């Protein structure tokens, strides 16, 4: 039906609340091409997390439709990986066992040793070699988020959905993790959708930034980011990057005024 990995078509959603209906998404359309990485920014409460739940198949939209690889999303599927602001790791499992969890859930065909090898490989990529046998509480927040990214990717999902995954981290740790994300993507491509409040993060990680309007959210503005791939943090200080960031900042202001 389409060559896009993620296709959100004319999606509207209204929550029923005690104080009446709350429209959150209004005929929202977004397309993410295969192996593309789209960042979604917008005012707090405009419906971004709602959007991730719709893509993950945890909820159905009131109207419109969500498609992954040309198939309509009606329920959660194993080809989607997710990571959130607060990584929920199981304290009774080691880091390695936490990372391997999705393989158990989706009933992976890998042998036990291949599963371990896969988890070790990802943990090495994010710099967690030597921490495989620790418990989550023995790790820093940044390390836990690294482990949670490994867990989201361990079963080689075609789509990775990230809902403010670095929001709770300090600025330096966050920048480290941006580079980790680039390394992970380079190693094995996936289609990504990143929700963030950090405009620099959106420009650094994505090839397309979508600014949502205030609630109910529509796609207010789309910015294409050139030269994806090999990026260094210095690239965020070039005149082109600063122009893009100003552009986005202006659009966010417009969106907030509508809220």
**Of the two residues 22 and 110, which places its CB atom closer to ligand ATP in the complex?**
22
Question: How far is 119 from 139, CA to CA, in rounded Å?
Answer: 17
**Of the two residues 98 and 213, which places its CB atom closer to ligand ATP in the complex?**
213
Closest approach, Cβ 6 to Mg ion, in A, equals 18
Question: Quick check: 50 binds ligand ATP (CB under 6 A)?
Answer: yes
Question: Quick check: 22 binds ligand ATP (CB under 6 A)?
Answer: yes
Beta strands 208-212 and 37-41 are parallel
- Binders of ligand ATP among residues 126 to 185 (CB under 6 A) are none
Give the x-and-dash track for 23-42 against ligand ATP (CB under 6 A): -x------------------
Sheet of strand 20-33, all strands in order from the earlier edge strand to the far edge: 20-33, 4-17, 63-68, 71-72
Going through the chain in order, the beta strands assigned E by DSSP cover 4-17, 20-33, 37-41, 63-68, 71-72, 80-84, 159-163, 191-195, 208-212, 219-224
Closest approach, Cβ 17 to ligand ATP, in A, equals 5
- What is the 3-state composition of the chain as percent helix, strand, coil, each rounded to the nearest 5? 40, 25, 35
Closest approach, Cβ 24 to ligand ATP, in A, equals 5
Q: Please, where are the H alpha helices in 136-234?
A: 141-153, 171-187, 199-205
Closest approach, Cβ 175 to Mg ion, in A, equals 22
Question: How far is 94 from 131, CA to CA, in rounded Å?
Answer: 9
In this chain, which of 12, 49, 179, 220 binds Mg ion, going by CB under 5 A? 49
Question: Quick check: 111 binds ligand ATP (CB under 6 A)?
Answer: no
Report the partner that residue 151 touches, choosing among Mg ion, ligand ATP, none (CB closer than 5 to 8 A by kind). none
Question: Quick check: 14 binds ligand ATP (CB under 6 A)?
Answer: no
Question: Quick check: 214 binds ligand ATP (CB under 6 A)?
Answer: no
Cα distance between the two ends of the chain: 35
**Of the two residues 49 and 228, which places its CB atom closer to Mg ion in the complex?**
49
In this chain, which of 12, 49, 97, 220 binds ligand ATP, going by CB under 6 A? 49
Question: How far is 219 from 223, CA to CA, in rounded Å?
Answer: 11
- The two tokens of residue 123 are 């943990």
Q: Note the residues at the interface with Mg ion (CB under 5 A).
A: 48-49
Q: Note the residues at the interface with ligand ATP (CB under 6 A).
A: 15, 17, 22, 24, 44-50
């Amino acid at each position: 039906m389409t060559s896009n990995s993620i296709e959100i078509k004319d999606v509207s959603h209204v929550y029923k609340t005690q104080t009446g209906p709350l429209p959150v998404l209004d005929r929202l359309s977004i397309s993410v091409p295969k192996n593309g990485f789209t960042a979604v920014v917008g005012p707090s409460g405009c419906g971004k997390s709602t959007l991730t739940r719709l893509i993950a198949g945890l909820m159905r939209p009131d109207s419109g439709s969500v498609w992954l690889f040309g198939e309509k999303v009606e329920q959660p599927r194993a080809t989607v990986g997710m990571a959130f602001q607060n990584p929920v790791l199981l304290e009774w499992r080691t880091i390695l066992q936490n990372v391997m969890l999705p393989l158990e859930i989706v009933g992976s065909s890998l042998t036990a040793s291949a599963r371990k090898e896969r988890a070790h490989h990802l943990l090495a990529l994010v710099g967690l070699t030597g921490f495989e046998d620790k418990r989550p509480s023995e790790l820093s927040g940044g390390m836990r988020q690294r482990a949670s990214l490994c867990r989201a990717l361990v079963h080689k999902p075609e789509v990775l959905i990230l809902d403010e995954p670095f929001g709770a981290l300090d600025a330096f740790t966050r920048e480290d993790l941006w580079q980790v994300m680039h390394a992970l993507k380079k190693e094995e491509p996936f289609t990504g959708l990143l929700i963030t409040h950090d405009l620099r993060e959106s420009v650094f990680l994505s090839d397309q930034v979508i600014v949502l309007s205030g609630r109910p959210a529509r796609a207010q503005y789309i910015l294409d980011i050139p030269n994806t791939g090999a990026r260094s943090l210095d690239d965020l200080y070039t005149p082109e990057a600063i122009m893009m960031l100003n552009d986005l900042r202006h659009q966010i202001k417009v969106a907030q005024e509508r809220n």
